[in-house]
Structure 1
Amino acid sequence: MKHLSLFLCQILVFSSLLTIIPSIEGRKFHRGCKKHHKGYEDSCTSISIFNILSFGAKANGVSDDSKKLVATWKAACKVPGGVVQIPSGHKFLLKPVTLQGPCMGHVTLQVDGTLLAQPKIGSWSKSNLFQWINFKWVHNFTIQGSGTIDGQGYNWWKPMKSKYISDIKPTALRFYASEDVTVRDITIRNSPQVHLKFDNSRGVKVDNITISSPGNSPNTDGIHLQNTRDVEILHSNIGSGDDCVSIQTGCSNVHIHHINCGPGHGISLGGLGKDKSIACVSDILVENSNIQNTLYGARIKTWQGGIGLVKNVTFSNIQVANVNFPIVINQFYCDKSLCQNQTGSVAIKEVNFERITGTFSTQPIHLACSDDVPCTGINLSDIQLKPSRGPLEGSQNQEALCSNSYGNSKGPLIPSSMNYCLKKGGGVSVHKFSRSSNELC
């Protein structure tokens, strides 16, 4: 009997210890409870926090913590509600990593510290030049926090004298084949190339983030969307050396609002149809945003020779300041000094530019559409654009240019040349090509 009492006592002590000693891999907390819709019992979910420091990260900004981050991710991925914690006050140097799903449930990457890419180009492996932090097949995922993701891209922006990397430069954060992704509150800066990319994904929300790199940093798009749909980008500040937001082929149902864009190349669809490829983009709304000190404002750009269709696009309530070309459609896009002339183009129709006001430094509106495939259904409404520095040198630049563009205009329109810019109706070739474009897309 004495031995039995001692045994029971030991069990009670051991059980007590289990309740007060946290897991080596993670601490569990209750996320919250809510009443079950069919009964009276509360159903509670819990979260487990996995701190990268607990997995051996050095956190000194010099030692490589890549494997520690992957190990932390794998642990959090195995439990519902897992949180990967990057604590504040620490710097973590990372080589290229892939954080792969799917996971057991919702996973959060809580970035309150600083993640650093390798600054020396020679430190990068030739097989890992496409992206730095790669999220693959993640579903129901959030990255958030008060921290910074720093691509340290200064050396990548210089003209390359070596053939080590050719034209390939890493994207800072890339999501591939992912769904229900939220990115909020964090800062992403100085990426070697694109800062934040979504590829073949669905259900994306980007809220209250800051993206920054110098205006002369080449090809450092802020947010790049490709083959991605059901997207909302809002309440964010984006300044870079290229497009603040770049919308590429395969994108639809994209809503961008309350964005501050600049420096950079504005908010752009394209370039689309490169190398005679098929491009399909539809249902894009950009509204209630500010664009300042950029090369372009609201822009659609396509390559000659491409096929496909851009339709149902609206730029509304956009305030521009010192933008070279606030309104642009260019079906002759070329990123070289000279491109070969080709027939055919991605069709563009049902595009609205409305309530766009502010100042420009070169030309207020530039619609250069193809002879073979003119732009149709273009609507200009309440456009008021004035030179940012008084009379421009070469006053013809103040005139609106609308080549092979069909649609309707209604006032007020400033400069007044916009009243006579668009043509009415459309040609037979337009309708013929529109039918084939609709079939492709």
Structure 2
Amino acid sequence: MKVEIILIICINAFSIGVKSQIEQETTDNPQQLSTGADSSQTFFIDNPVQLSTGADSSQTFFTEANSVGQGNAAIFEQQLSAVKTQATGTGTCSGGTYNVKDFGAKGDGKTDDCKAIQAAWLAACKCTGSPKVLIPSGTYLTGPVQFFGACKGTTITLQVQGTLKASTNLGHFGQRDWICFGWVRGLILTGGGTFDGQGTASWPYNKCPVTKKCNVLPTNLKFNAMTDTTVKGITSLNSKFFHIGVVNCQKFNVIGVHITAPGDSPNTDGLHFERSSDVTITDSIIATGDDCISIGHGNSRMTIKGITCGPGHGISVGSLGRYQNEGDVNGLLVKNCTLSKTTNGVRLKTWESSPNPSKAINITFEDIIMNNVCNPIIIDQTYCPYVSCESKLPSKVKLQDIFFRRIRGTSSTPIAVWLKCNKNIPCQNVVLQDINLSHPAGAKSTCQNIQAKTLGTVIPTPCKG
């Protein structure tokens, strides 16, 4: 049934008006965009059908599947049968390479190659051993593509050597993201290729920076319920929304990725995580319009090393405390990173009026270089990105055992250390050790509801509040 759902979604791109040539510009009807949560929270869905269609519209899939019409029903069935036969075949297989061009992909920059890419994945997914799906050099235009398991192999590799380009017509996505991976164990995504979200045409439709009720645009690459995943050496370019989103994943490794979008591109977070554990992110370059890396709720045992960040909004824990039943953040190490001309440095941010208590504990930022960074060290427990927010109660997110060690460089603002904590649940055991941040007018620090501990030399002079 899952295979048929995937195939129906993909084939409908052909049978209900999505032409084989993706040359149209962004849809004139922005209401076709999905509606969802704020830019950094809970737009990730666990249900496989809802993941395909959107959290707020469980009927979307069935509407699309049944909208083919009587006149196109026979053509639709023929397409479905052809793809199923080509992709699944009969018998068994072990390993092997599945080149998308052998399944009909053109890679000419004009043809929609969704069906061929999907078919190659389905063929590899049914194989034991360590099969590989190859997307060779070329330019492949697609609408939403879904790489779902469970697969039979011990590992499965998606080797992208070419460039995948997302459709610029938002009507092609409905409430789906662009490239989705789900329920796969042992995925290796590699090859040095590029995922180009072509987000420039879509960013004007993104109202999330100014209002809570907003249309959420497609994420470039989304990973849901994955285990033992490696993402290595790929490039994410100009995502319509987040570049890489990870939810409910275990043992997730990111190595040497390159993420880029203009500094003013809205909500283009580089990497965003929710409800995931045993995560490592190393040796990556991120230049984007929002957080280079954002750590949402429910994450544990995360290590981030060797990140070059800028432009962007820095490396952030949060925002936390906005939604019901958020999980704790426990165990984060951010080390050996360089941030340049970002609007924040290393940051923890929580909302006021949290519906439920939660915690962010055991978090360390160390050996960080700041180059002309606004707010190099910041804790903000009154976070609100909008012009105004209804703040009836203090944040219920408890911050404890937070360590800032060996952070040096230059601040673009006089306030280089800003620690604003909750008055009802003050931050506990926040430690500043060997800090050296300068500003031409003299760096300063400001504090509220916190007694931070200091070790070694701390510049600017620590504050008490």
Note whether the superposition's TM-score is higher than 0.5: yes
Residues 1:313 and 1:166: Cα distance change in structure 2 (over 3 Å): closer
For 1:150, the equivalent position in structure 2 comes to 196
Residue number among 418, 429, 439 corresponding to 1:366 in the alignment: 418
For 2:379, the equivalent position in structure 1 comes to 329
Describe the SS at the equivalent of 1:312.
Answer: strand
Describe the SS at the equivalent of 1:116.
Answer: strand
Quick one: distance in 1 between partners of 2:160 and 2:324? 41
Partner deviation per Cα, 1:65-88 (whole Å, 9 max, x = no partner): 111111000011111211000002
Describe the SS at the equivalent of 1:76.
Answer: helix
Structure 2: tracts of 5 or more residues without a match:
1-85, 208-212
Quick one: distance in 1 between partners of 2:464 and 2:182? 45
Query: In the TM superposition, what is the alpha-carbon distance from 1:184 to its structure 2 partner?
Result: 0.2
Quick one: distance in 1 between partners of 2:450 and 2:146? 45
For 1:384, the equivalent position in structure 2 comes to 436
Contact between 1:222 and 1:240, CA under 8 Å: does it hold in 2? yes
For 1:15, the equivalent position in structure 2 comes to none
Larger relative contact order, structure 1 or 2 (CA cutoff 8 Å, min sep 6): 2
For 1:141, the equivalent position in structure 2 comes to 187
Partner deviation per Cα, 1:26-68 (whole Å, 9 max, x = no partner): 9xxxxxxxxxxxxxxxxxx974000000000121111111111
1:281-296 to structure 2, matched below 5 A, reads: 281-296=329-344
Structure 1: tracts of 5 or more residues without a match:
1-23, 27-44, 424-441
For 1:434, the equivalent position in structure 2 comes to none
For 1:251, the equivalent position in structure 2 comes to 299
Residue number among 241, 246, 252 corresponding to 1:204 in the alignment: 252
Residues 1:166 and 1:353: Cα distance change in structure 2 (over 3 Å): closer
Flag the structure with higher strand content: 1
Query: In the TM superposition, what is the alpha-carbon distance from 1:279 to its structure 2 partner?
Result: 4.1
For 2:363, the equivalent position in structure 1 comes to 313
Residue 411 of structure 2 aligns to which amino acid in structure 1?
A: F
Quick one: distance in 2 between partners of 1:117 and 1:151? 5
Residues 1:47 and 1:422: Cα distance change in structure 2 (over 3 Å): farther
Query: In the TM superposition, what is the alpha-carbon distance from 1:118 to its structure 2 partner?
Result: 0.5
For 2:149, the equivalent position in structure 1 comes to 101
**Worse-matched range after superposition: 318-327 or 273-282:** 273-282
1:5-404 to structure 2, matched below 5 A, reads: 47-79=95-127, 80-88=129-137, 90-105=138-153, 106-121=155-170, 123-128=171-176, 131-159=177-205, 166-275=214-323, 277-306=325-354, 307-345=357-395, 346-362=397-413, 363-387=415-439, 390-391=440-441, 398-404=443-449
Describe the SS at the equivalent of 1:62.
Answer: strand
Contact between 2:87 and 2:122, CA under 8 Å: does it hold in 1? no
Give me the TM-score of the superposition, normalised by structure 1.
Answer: 0.80
Quick one: distance in 2 between partners of 1:166 and 1:314? 33
Partner deviation per Cα, 1:115-154 (whole Å, 9 max, x = no partner): 1100233x424232xx101101011110001211110100
Partner deviation per Cα, 1:201-247 (whole Å, 9 max, x = no partner): 11000001100000000000000000011000000001110000000
Quick one: distance in 2 between partners of 1:383 and 1:314? 14
Decide which structure has the larger Cα Rg and report it: 1
Give me the TM-score of the superposition, normalised by structure 2.
Answer: 0.76
Describe the SS at the equivalent of 1:154.
Answer: helix
Quick one: distance in 1 between partners of 2:433 and 2:183? 42
Query: In the TM superposition, what is the alpha-carbon distance from 1:327 to its structure 2 partner?
Result: 0.3
Quick one: distance in 1 between partners of 2:353 and 2:130? 48
Quick one: distance in 1 between partners of 2:345 and 2:323? 25
Contact between 1:51 and 1:84, CA under 8 Å: does it hold in 2? yes
Quick one: distance in 2 between partners of 1:78 and 1:341? 52
Residues 1:353 and 1:95: Cα distance change in structure 2 (over 3 Å): same
How many residue pairs align between the two structures?
365
Residue number among 407, 420, 426 corresponding to 2:452 in the alignment: 407
For 1:32, the equivalent position in structure 2 comes to none
Quick one: distance in 1 between partners of 2:112 and 2:102? 15
Describe the SS at the equivalent of 1:218.
Answer: coil
Residue 412 of structure 1 aligns to which amino acid in structure 2?
A: T
Using the aligned pairs only, state the percent identity. Answer: 40
Quick one: distance in 2 between partners of 1:302 and 1:333? 6
For 1:35, the equivalent position in structure 2 comes to none
